[in-house]
A and B are shown apart, each in its own frame.
Chain A
């Protein structure tokens, strides 16, 4: 079945550091890919998405590119802030039939 794998956390960075959170997926078709963010005590919020190969999703300084050849959707940000501390989930949606979330990666940004 479909699956999503994310890098193990927690990830701890200093403010203004560069962030990469790796995400790879397996799917039978050509899924849409998502990054969701969960702040403490809250539900998940959509951060960005990409619906086809080579699409780049971006929001709030975060970016991720849909790489079909490597089945990856790595999340990047050039300069993280303390307010970016949260848990980040990579997810896929396969033709609206199958919704799969990765295990989440906790990010802590220190001032």
Chain B
């Protein structure tokens, strides 16, 4: 049963530190999404890739966040420097070509102190 995997599952860090979250999309999927989930804002789309090219990152704070796909099996979301307001659950999702369905990973729960 193919699944999206995310690492780490939990991360506690101090303000100002760099945080890197990793996602392995389902093999063969060509779209990758990064979302942030908080109680106050709900689920927010941060970035969206198709065939490893960024199509939309308008939801991402550009000054501290960056998202990349070094290859088809790895997507990364980096925060530098991190701030307490970045505390949230970050989800990665992937989707196959020609389908609108997204398959979500289990999330990375980030706490910035």
Residues of B within 8 Å of A51, CB to CB, are 100
* Secondary structure of the B contact surface, majority rule: strand
Contact B104 A43 (CB under 8 A): yes
Tell me whether A89 and B43 are in contact in the complex, defined as CB-CB below 8 angstroms, given that A42-B106, A43-B91 are known contacts: yes
B92 (CB) vs chain A CBs: closest residue? A43
Which of A78-111 touch B at CB < 8 Å? 89, 93, 96-97, 99-104
Contact A43 B100 (CB under 8 A): no
Contact B104 A44 (CB under 8 A): yes
A31 to B56, CA, bound (A): 18
Instruction: Give the interface size bracket for B toward A.
Output: 10 to 19
Contact B43 A49 (CB under 8 A): no
Q: Is B61 located at the chain interface by the 8 A CB criterion?
A: no
Contact A101 B42 (CB under 8 A): yes
Least CB distance, A38 to chain B, in whole angstroms? 8
Residues of B within 8 Å of A17, CB to CB, are none
Partner of A46, one of B56, B101, B106: B101
Residues of B within 8 Å of A20, CB to CB, are none
A42 to B3, CA, bound (A): 12
Contact A104 B43 (CB under 8 A): yes
Q: Is B110 located at the chain interface by the 8 A CB criterion?
A: no
25 A-B pairs with CB atoms under 8 Å apart are: A32-B100, A34-B100, A43-B4, A43-B91, A43-B93, A43-B107, A44-B43, A44-B91, A44-B93, A44-B102, A44-B104, A45-B104, A46-B102, A49-B100, A49-B101, A51-B100, A89-B43, A96-B100, A99-B48, A99-B102, A100-B45, A101-B35, A101-B43, A103-B42, A104-B42
